[in-house]
Amino acid sequence: MSTAYDIAIVGGGVVGCAIARELSKFTCRVCLLERELDVSLGTSCRNSGVLHSGINYKPGTLRARLAVRGNAMMDELCRDLKVKIKRIGKLTVALEKDDMPGLERIYEQGKANGAPGLEIIGPERMRSIQPDVEGIAALWSPSSSIISPYGLTIALAENAKANGVDLRLGWGVTGVEVLPEGRGFAVKNARGETVTAKLLINVAGLFAAAICEMAGIHDYHIYPCRGEYYVLDKRLDGSLRTLIYPTPNPKNPGLGIHLTPTVDGNILIGPSADYQDSPTWTGNCAPTMAQLREEGLKLLPDIRISDYIRNFAGLRAKQTPPEVGGNADFVVEDRADVPGFINVLGIESPGLTSSPAIAEMVRDMVKAHLPLLPDPSFNGVRPGSDLLFSERSPEERAAMIADDPDYGEMICRCESVSKREVLDALNNPLGAKTFVSLKYRSRVSMGRCQGGFCIPRIARLLYEEFGWKWEDFVDHSEGSRMFAGKVLNGGEH
């Protein structure tokens, strides 16, 4: 791999990968630097997975404009990249008369922002969408959707790589040297490696302010704000046919704890909102977990203890400190003071929705510095299918098994993941080899037994058929080894 680029992108979250894929349409030399061992291991894998319609943002802001534009781009993008998207729409519900002015306000705001298909509907229509929903009226926003956030990020990264972007995983930026006379940047990591680039695009999420500091920009501070979730068993799949949110209440800003179905058939309870200092701690706290369970039960009384299959938490990269609260607008800027430094910062919600629109905006900023020539060999279509093997009919599965016997062998029981899908995940185009990389690509261990059954089988597969050693198995990071060694006198591997 070369070390001299036209453009270096710092950060392999959904926005960084969307920018990489957008720039891969042109002949410029691009690298993406990601500190973790895979893309999408930060905020991009730890959120609700909702594409927003754009009704909740102040007209004229980047959040409003980019969310509406990004949402509109998703159908084509997901079709090309083989990413599952479900346009299930959203009901913003007014429970009582007092909620009506708030509902009218977001309806007008949504119209002003250009969100498509908005309607205020009555109880009858509401119940035709979700039979048990309560309330006197609701704003129906049909473009609100669900998507796998890591699925989209991985697909963007793979397509970017297929079109020539150098993806450097495990490449944590520790220094940015601004080269004299506008010659660009020398970017360094802790191993002493350097890449140079004419332009540097900072999409480092929770670390974006730290990257700014390295380049001598002292304008920003990121306040990590943790959102915790419960993941519910697929037993409850189908309980929610749409997204249901309460009407925003000025006394209680934020969207509040709610239920979100995922594209894979789980339901999420969350997110909470708690500020913290650490940009990496994504644990769960007992009081918040209790609160999530309580709120979840209010919204879906059928939840049983055995339906809680996992917890997770994600960190919002907020610019507003705890004492201020609320949200600041996205920062997408071409820094005049540090020529060639393009800053994409403070991308909290609706960052996932906005990602392809931010990428267009950044592309246009890049054009001011570099001539962007379309690459005739660009292929925006990612091979494969958005359907999992288990989602196909018995006849289709039988035909695929006959064609490729590995489809017949089941590795993960709960999610019905075949050996073929595990092998495909293992041979992923990005070369990511963590256990989480396998999980996000194939859904192994994401079901109700949480890997009790399949993790030993996958371990056996990897050392028997791929010659892995005990030290090769990591969960998600260099330090997260899954094993501590071999059993004494226990044979080779």
Confirm or reject binding of residue 301 to another protein (CB under 8 A). Answer: no
Confirm or reject binding of residue 344 to another protein (CB under 8 A). Answer: no
Give the phi and the psi of residue 221 in degrees, each rounded to 5: -140, 135
Confirm or reject binding of residue 125 to another protein (CB under 8 A). Answer: no
**Which residue, 185 or 308, has its beta carbon nearer to another protein?**
308
**Which residue, 226 or 382, has its beta carbon nearer to another protein?**
226
Give the 3-state secondary structure of 97-121.
HHHHHHHHHHHHHHHHHCCCCCEEE
Confirm or reject binding of residue 268 to another protein (CB under 8 A). Answer: no
**Which residue, 105 or 235, has its beta carbon nearer to another protein?**
235
Distance CA 11, CA 137 (A): 42
**Which residue, 174 or 280, has its beta carbon nearer to another protein?**
280
Sole binder of another protein in the list 100, 112, 370, 459 (CB under 8 A): 459
Taking CB under 8 A as the binding criterion, the range among 135-143, 209-217, 379-387, 484-492 that sits at the site for another protein is 484-492
Instruction: Determine contact, residues 30/24, Cβ cutoff 8 Å.
Output: yes
Sole binder of another protein in the list 181, 277, 302, 395 (CB under 8 A): 395
N-term to C-term CA, the chain: 31
Helix (H, G, I), strand (E, B) or coil at 459: helix
Q: Which two tokens stand for residue 223?
A: 């306040």
Give least dist CB 491 to another protein, A: 5
Instruction: Determine contact, residues 223/321, Cβ cutoff 8 Å.
Output: yes
Distance CA 6, CA 184 (A): 9
Q: How many CA atoms lie within 13 A of 98 on its CB side?
A: 5
Confirm or reject binding of residue 466 to another protein (CB under 8 A). Answer: no
Instruction: Determine contact, residues 315/283, Cβ cutoff 8 Å.
Output: no
Sole binder of another protein in the list 94, 160, 208, 231 (CB under 8 A): 231
Q: 52 catalytic, yes or no?
A: yes
Q: Which residues contact 454 (CB under 8 A, 6 or more apart)?
A: 411, 412, 413, 414, 417, 444, 445
Q: Which two tokens stand for residue 195?
A: 């890449």
Distance CA 363, CA 429 (A): 24
Neighbouring CB atoms inside 10 A of 358's CB total: 26
Taking CB under 8 A as the binding criterion, the range among 25-33, 138-146, 283-291, 366-374 that sits at the site for another protein is 283-291
Confirm or reject binding of residue 239 to another protein (CB under 8 A). Answer: no
**Which residue, 54 or 261, has its beta carbon nearer to another protein?**
261
Distance CA 432, CA 171 (A): 13
Which residue shows structure tokens 């409003």? 64
**Which residue, 298 or 486, has its beta carbon nearer to another protein?**
486
Give the phi and the psi of residue 22 in degrees, each rounded to 5: -65, -45
Helix (H, G, I), strand (E, B) or coil at 261: strand
Work out the widest C-alpha separation in the chain, in whole angstroms. 74
Give least dist CB 458 to another protein, A: 11
Give least dist CB 490 to another protein, A: 3
Confirm or reject binding of residue 276 to another protein (CB under 8 A). Answer: no
Confirm or reject binding of residue 388 to another protein (CB under 8 A). Answer: no
- Choose the catalytic residue: 52, 258, 476, 493: 52
**Which residue, 139 or 289, has its beta carbon nearer to another protein?**
289
Sole binder of another protein in the list 101, 216, 253, 283 (CB under 8 A): 283
Helical segments of 133-207, H only:
149-162
Sole binder of another protein in the list 75, 460, 466, 467 (CB under 8 A): 460
Binding mask 401-440 toward another protein (x if CB under 8 A, else -) reads: xx--xx-xxx--xx-x-x----------------x-----
Distance CA 438, CA 152 (A): 15
Confirm or reject binding of residue 170 to another protein (CB under 8 A). Answer: no
Site size for another protein (CB under 8 A): 64
**Which residue, 198 or 419, has its beta carbon nearer to another protein?**
419
Confirm or reject binding of residue 449 to another protein (CB under 8 A). Answer: yes
Taking CB under 8 A as the binding criterion, the range among 78-86, 104-112, 305-313, 354-362 that sits at the site for another protein is 305-313
Distance CA 324, CA 308 (A): 34
Neighbouring CB atoms inside 10 A of 212's CB total: 24
Taking CB under 8 A as the binding criterion, the range among 61-69, 109-117, 138-146, 481-489 that sits at the site for another protein is 481-489
* CA distances in angstroms from 201 to 36, 193, 209, 306, listed in the order given: 18, 19, 13, 45
Sole binder of another protein in the list 2, 252, 306, 377 (CB under 8 A): 306
**Which residue, 134 or 464, has its beta carbon nearer to another protein?**
464
Sole binder of another protein in the list 4, 95, 373, 398 (CB under 8 A): 398
Instruction: Determine contact, residues 293/269, Cβ cutoff 8 Å.
Output: yes
Q: Which residues contact 265 (CB under 8 A, 6 or more apart)?
A: 234, 237
Binding mask 175-214 toward another protein (x if CB under 8 A, else -) reads: ----------------------------------------
* Binding positions for another protein, rule: CB under 8 A: 231, 280-286, 289, 293, 305-306, 308-312, 394-395, 397-399, 401-402, 405-406, 408-410, 413-414, 416, 418, 435, 448-453, 455-456, 459-460, 463, 470, 474-488, 490-491, 493
Catalytic residues: 52
